[in-house]
Amino acid sequence: MSYRTRVKICGITRLEDALDAVRLGADALGFVFYPPSPRYVAPEKAAEIIARLPPFVTTTGLFVDADAQQVRDVLATAPLGLLQFHGDESPEYCAGFRQPWIKALRMQPGLDVAAKIRDYRDAAGILLDAWHPQLKGGTGETFDWRHWPKHSGLSLILAGGLTPENVAEAIHLTQPYAVDVSGGVELGKGLKDFTLMQAFMAGVNAA
């Protein structure tokens, strides 16, 4: 039996993009709370967007090696359903906020993916993203999908360079629980495009 692949659209900065994404069928929206990112959104702005969302949409906050107090401050402002840690956070750190969380792993050469997944076995899911020597996510690059782990025991989320043109192939090769897209549905950093999101969802549904 095949199951529907879930979709998260990350890097939301505008209400209209959030509502369009949900109308098109996105299961989750990502808000980047990493100030160096061009997709950074202030917690107050994220809270305004989240307040306008319909039910059954998972709101995800992305952090990169943030001070624990920063995470708590964001949680006090923006009601998030899921935390996503995209840096070098330890399993103990990730579990310290009493919130469901996922951990991003960057698929750099030589990474023992199975061992890393075991380290973060208490996560709600593991997101596998392309590795870049400077950037921690949002690279616009893919990784070799042939290295996708099998039988991990956790929900695996595919990210990195996904577009309307390649997402169906990516799903076919990896069979992920979910896919995560940002730049592949943008006209500019943090500015989503309805037509690209629509095409991306069509690609997911065609897989």
Burial 84-93 (b: 16+ CB within 10 A, else e): bbbeebebeb
| Pairing mode, strands 186-188 and 125-129 | unpaired
Closest to 46 (Cα-Cα) out of 26, 20, 71, 18:
18
* DSSP states of 22-72: HHTT-SEEEEE--TTSTTB--HHHHHHHHHTPPSS-EEEEEESS--HHHHH
What is the 8-class DSSP label of residue 118?
H
Catalytic status, residue 17: no
Q: What are φ and ψ of residue 18, in 5° steps?
A: -60, -45
Q: Which of 17, 20, 129, 180 is catalytic?
A: 129
- Residue whose structure tokens are 């969802």: 201
Radius of gyration of the chain (CA): 16
| 101 alpha carbon, distance to own chain's centre | 11
10 included as an active-site residue: yes
Active-site residue, selected from the candidate residues 10, 20, 94, 180: 10
Tokens at 122, concatenated: 């208490």
Which residues are part of the catalytic machinery?
Answer: 10, 129
